[in-house]
Chains A and B, each alone.
Chain A
Amino acid sequence: MNSLTPNEWNEVSALFEEALSLSPSALPLFLKVLGEEKPHYQKELLSLLRSHDEARDFLETPIGLNLTEILAVDPSEYFSMGEETGDFEILEVLGKGSFATVYLARQLSLNRQVALKVSANVGKEALTMASLEHDNIVRVFSESVVEERQLRLICMQYVSGTTLEKILSHPPQRDVSSGAAFLKAIDHLTTSPTAFDASAIKDREYLSSLDLVGTVAYLGLRLSSALAFAHKRGVLHMDVKPGNILISPYGRPYLTDFNISVNNLRPEESDANYFGGTLEYMAPEHLNAFKLNLTEALPQIDQRADIFALGKVLKEVLKWLTNPTSQTNTIELERILNKCTENKAEDRFADGASLSQALRGCLEQRSILENLPPPGRITHWAAKHPFATLLTLILVPQVCGSLINIAYNSIRIVNHLSTHQQEVFRSLIPYWNLFIFSVGTLILVPKLRPIASFFNRPSNERTGSPEFLKHLRKQVLDYPLWLAAVITLCWGAASLFWPLSLYLLAGMNDSHVTLHFLISFLLSGSIALTYSFLYTQFIGLRVLYPSLWSGCADIRATAKEELKTVGSRFNFFYLLAGFIPLTGALLLVFVGPEELNSTAYDTYRALLFALIGLGMMGFVFALKAGRDIAATFHTLLDL
């Protein structure tokens, strides 16, 4: 009777319907004809018609009797306290979900406390259980079925403490650091007995010292490393949410409930498990999977759905801890969390490992900015107006160089020229300066523009792709070299222009004058070059460079690579800053003031005074900036 195929059954259904529509007198004939054509259908039909007559009210009243009582009884109380089932003694209820209850139990054979998750063993085949050994993943020890009661038991590591979900619904204490507020919430919510763990005490100490960004990053780092661990083994969690994150009394987070997770390596076994998840933390592509059929949806969901969920969770923690009156800068952290929760999976971090890296980068960048030496007046001003400061610090040494140049020329060159030559010389000075300053500016300013426009943005928009920032860092570091080249070119051009133009326009043909022109421009040019180089390199490294690290995963290593030659550059130019003006002064003294008239003698004295003063300043600068730069290096490279 039960051997009918669905097709045969459909035929029987049609016959049954036809039979019922017939008048009682026509039925016997119908059955007779059927019996001749299809005897086995006739038999089936007869038995159904008989049953139909008997059935009458059968099932007509929808079930309802006692339904209320069934529903009112809590079916999640599978066991009573103290009851033993298999290897477990039930101790107490730790938590209840819609379809499962978690008990604290003692595993008798090993005499240890475990968490026992009990659910009805119905519906789908056993779900994929991932047993992952990681410090921040709740270990699954075993899975078993109590046959006679159709219950599924999952034996897991017992983490006393509480869940992140409970912490987030508990208002944080405001008058302590974020890390301490987090710990206080844990203490307040932890009721279960806790085994003393001396090694984990350090976690608490560390956590209590953390501020807002530090606390969120602490949780983020541990959870993303747990995800990275699972992802590497082809396991997706698919239901990361505060309720699935346990927090030990020591503040250590544990990811749990990998049981709707999907093993990437064997998707055919666990298709249906893609459809767990909690709406609030579900990535758009995960949500979309509902609309598509499974084979289309499967390849679209990967570890980045977990990244999305973790990003959402961390944003909640950040929101929970944020004190409206605090000034903590969370821009970089928010940038990372926003990247986690991008709508398009390809815009997010590729996996747990790259999220970990980004969070570490964020912490590193913060610790660098915090540990930089306190800003002096110039540093402070440069941080506010980088473009103006840089321009000023480039121009001032040029003007300084020019003044020295003019003074030198007036005492060593002009008196060797004929009146005509002097006239030509003086008439050319404004044109030449206008020309050479314009050329210099035209070359130097455009080169400075990308740096300036970046630092003109409001501080929360000073970010970009890692490549862009790397490019900017390179520009900031290399700009002084470029500047040095341009300055050398300009002053070098002057030392050739003057003897040549005086020769061509006024017939000056004195090798003594030519030599002094060379000395004059070499001296003043070197001074202009050295000081502008030092200032720009100082501002670049001290002010601009440390704030160009947004999104960089490994700051120390990258900085080490990028700063390889910068240190020796500094050392060389410190020396020059003192050495060049003093050499100039020596030279002046050596030649002597004997042949000078009284006006020229005054200039001579002023020049000597300026050169020695510059030399002293150079040493003071080398000493002061040197210490500052050394500390900056120290912080950047973590020496």
Chain B
Amino acid sequence: MEELTKNVTQLLVLHGQGDSQALEKLLPLVYQELRRLAQSYMRKEGSGHTLQATALVHEAYFRLVDQKDFKWQNRSHFFGVAAQLMRRLLIDHARGKKADKRGGTKVKVTLDEGLHVPNPEEGSDVLALDEALQKLSLLNERQGRVVELRYFGGLSLEEIAEVLAISPATVKRDWTLAKAWLHRELTHEQSNS
């Protein structure tokens, strides 16, 4: 575990030094820890229990990052990585679900109540969101990142400001706009189909 913590911390530093590619090495490590945590929660609480991304990511952070070597940059980089990972996981999962002909696991992925759209096929709404988010990122990458961190990483506006090194006011503006845009994009697509 100590070795792992050292590696993760070191990779976060490298990642923080400006190369997004260190991410590729971090992802599996963070992923394993998230899975481990999730499994232990499942054992303790049973499958009905809901664990927010926020809690999961924060706990993984405390387990994986060397607190003695504490730098706020490490923390925000870690959250950035975790959010990206969550998004990837959900997308992969939703994709698998959509294509799954074997029945598979009985897990349902739905967005929260804000989106009142019929659910024609399991998992398609996460995929639609992902797709819309990719479009938004093309228009403004930062706005895309804000949504990723907020929604998939469960970070607060202040934490997002820290990760992206911008002011909380800017985060709030980005969030408001991105939300409106995404909402329009998703309902628009639904009404088209």
- Closest chain-A Cβ to B174's Cβ sits at a distance in Å of 8
Which residues of chain A have C-beta atoms less than 8 A from B89's C-beta?
70-71, 75
| Bound Cα distance from A294 to B181, whole angstroms | 34
Q: Which residue of B lies closest to A274 (CB)?
A: B21
State in angstroms the CA–CA spacing of A370 and B155 once bound together: 68
User: Are the C-beta atoms of B28 and A98 separated by less than 8 Å?
Assistant: yes
Max count, chain B CB within 10 A of own CB: residue among A4, A50, A279, A291: A279
Q: A13-B140, A55-B183, A72-B38 are in contact. List 16 more A-B contacts (CB 8 A).
A: A6-B139, A51-B180, A55-B180, A55-B182, A63-B53, A63-B154, A64-B50, A64-B54, A65-B50, A71-B37, A149-B96, A149-B100, A290-B19, A290-B21, A291-B19, A294-B21
A254 shortest CB reach to chain B, Å: 23
Selected contact of A52 from candidates B17, B100, B176, CB within 8 Å: B176
A442 within 8 A of B: no
- A108 CB to closest chain B CB (Å) equals 19
A446 touches B (CB below 8 Å): no
Q: Which of chain A's residues has its CB closest to B135's CB?
A: A2
Residue of A nearest to B47 (CB): A69
Q: Which residue of A lies closest to B179 (CB)?
A: A55
B-contact bits for A34-71, CB 8 A (1 contact / 0 none) = 00000000000001111110111111111111111111
Contact of B179 among A52, A66, A70, A73 (CB under 8 A): A52
Contacting pair A279 B176 (CB below 8 A): no
Q: Once bound together, how far apart are the Cα atoms of A68 and B49, in whole Å?
A: 8
- Interface centre among A17, A67, A275, by most chain B C-beta atoms within 10 angstroms, is A67
Set of chain B residues within 8 Å of A69, measured between Cβ atoms = 38, 42, 47, 105, 107
CA–CA, A66 and B34, complex, Å: 14
Question: Contact between A98 and B31 (Cβ–Cβ < 8 Å)?
Answer: yes
Which A residues contact B (CB, under 8 angstroms)? 1-2, 4, 6, 9-10, 13, 16-17, 20, 47-52, 54-73, 75, 80, 97-99, 120, 122-123, 148-150, 272, 274-277, 279, 287, 290-294
| A279 and B102 within 8 A (CB) | no
Given contacts A59-B179, A290-B21, contact A75 B93 (CB under 8 A): yes
Are the CB atoms of B107 and A70 closer together than 8 Å?
Answer: yes
Does B71 belong to the interface (CB within 8 Å)? Answer: no
B24, B32, B102, B180: the one contacting A275 at CB < 8 Å is: B24
B131-145 CB mask vs A (1 if < 8 Å, else 0) is 000010011100100
Q: How many Å from the CB of A403 to the closest CB on chain B?
A: 74
B residues whose Cβ falls under 8 Å from a Cβ of A:
7, 10-11, 14-15, 17-19, 21-22, 24-25, 27-29, 31-32, 34-35, 37-39, 41-42, 47, 49-56, 86, 88-93, 95-96, 99-100, 102, 105, 107-115, 135, 138-140, 143, 147, 150-155, 173, 176-177, 179-184, 187-188
A60 lies within 8 A of B53 (CB): no
Chain B hits for A9, CB < 8 A: 139-140
**CB atoms of A62 and B150 under 8 A apart:** yes
- Establish whether residues B95 and A150, one from each chain, have CB atoms under 8 Å apart when the complex forms: yes
In the bound complex, residues from chain A placing their C-beta under 8 Å from that of B114 are 55-60
Is the pair A122, B91 in contact by a Cβ cutoff of 8 Å? yes
- Bound Cα distance A316, B67 (Å): 30
Task: Establish whether residues A48 and B180, one from each chain, have CB atoms under 8 Å apart when the complex forms.
Answer: yes
Q: Tell me the smallest distance from the CB of B36 to a CB of chain A, in Å.
A: 9
Which B residues lie within 8 Å of A75 (CB)?
A: 89, 92-93, 96
Report A-chain residues with C-beta under 8 Å of the C-beta of B140: 6, 9-10, 13
- Chain A residues near B15: list those with CB within 8 A: 290
Are A49 and B180 interface neighbours, CB within 8 A? yes
Which B residue's beta carbon lies closest to that of A78? Answer: B96
**Contact at B150–A59, with CB atoms within 8 Å?**
yes
Asked whether, in the complex, the Cβ of A47 is within 8 Å of the Cβ of B177, the reply is: no
Residue in B closest to A65 when the chains form the complex, CB atoms: B50
Q: Known: A17-B173, A54-B183, A55-B183. Contact between A62 and B92, CB under 8 A? A: no
A358 vs B131: C-alpha distance when bound (angstroms): 55
Docked-complex contact A71 and B96, CB < 8 angstroms: no
Q: Which A residues touch B105, using CB under 8 A?
A: 69, 73
| Smallest beta-carbon distance A365→chain B, Å | 37
Chain A nearest Cβ from B26, distance in angstroms: 11
Minimal beta-carbon separation of B177 from chain A (angstroms): 5
Docked pose: A37 CA to B52 CA in angstroms: 46
Taking CB atoms, residues of chain A closer than 8 Å to B55 are: 64
| B residues near A6, Cβ cutoff 8 Å | 138-140
Q: In the complex the two chains form, what is the Cα distance from A83 to B165 in whole Å?
A: 49
Report chain B residues within 8 Å CB of A149. Answer: 95-96, 99-100
Q: What are 26 A-B interface contacts by the 8 Å CB criterion?
A: A1-B188, A9-B140, A52-B183, A54-B187, A55-B179, A57-B113, A58-B112, A58-B183, A61-B112, A63-B152, A65-B109, A66-B109, A67-B86, A70-B93, A70-B109, A72-B38, A72-B47, A120-B95, A149-B96, A150-B99, A275-B22, A277-B25, A279-B11, A290-B19, A290-B22, A292-B19
**Residues of chain B with a CB closer than 8 A to A57's CB:** 112-114
Cβ-neighbour of B152 out of A62, A80, A292 (below 8 A) = A62
Query: In the assembled complex, how far is the CB of residue A364 from the closest CB belonging to chain B, in whole angstroms?
Result: 38
A291 surroundings in chain B (CB, below 8 A): 14, 17-19
Q: Which residue of B lies closest to A297 (CB)?
A: B19
- Return the contact of A66 from the options B99, B107, B135, B182 (Cβ within 8 A): B107
Q: Which 10 A-B pairs have the closest CB atoms?
A: A71-B38, A58-B114, A98-B28, A62-B154, A51-B184, A64-B52, A52-B180, A275-B21, A55-B183, A9-B139
Select one of B50, B143, B153, B188 contacting A68, CB under 8 A. Answer: B50
Nearest-neighbor residue (CB-CB) of A148 within chain B: B99
On whether A59 and B147 interact (CB within 8 A), knowing A17-B177, A64-B154, A80-B102, the answer reads yes
Which residues of chain A come closer than 8 Å to B11, judged between CB atoms?
A: 279
B112, A65: Cβ atoms under 8 Å? yes
- How far is A10 from B170 in the complex, measured between Cα atoms in Å? 13
B74 to chain A, nearest CB (A): 15
Contacting residues, chain A, for B37 (C-beta < 8 A): 71
CB distance from A44 to the nearest CB of B (A): 10
Q: A97–B154 Cα gap in the complex (Å)? A: 27
In the complex, what residues of A have CB within 8 A of residue B112's CB? 57-61, 63, 65
B14 touches A59 (CB 8 A): no
Q: Would you call A279 and B91 a contact (CB within 8 A)?
A: no
CB-defined contacts of B187 to chain A, threshold 8 Å: 51, 54
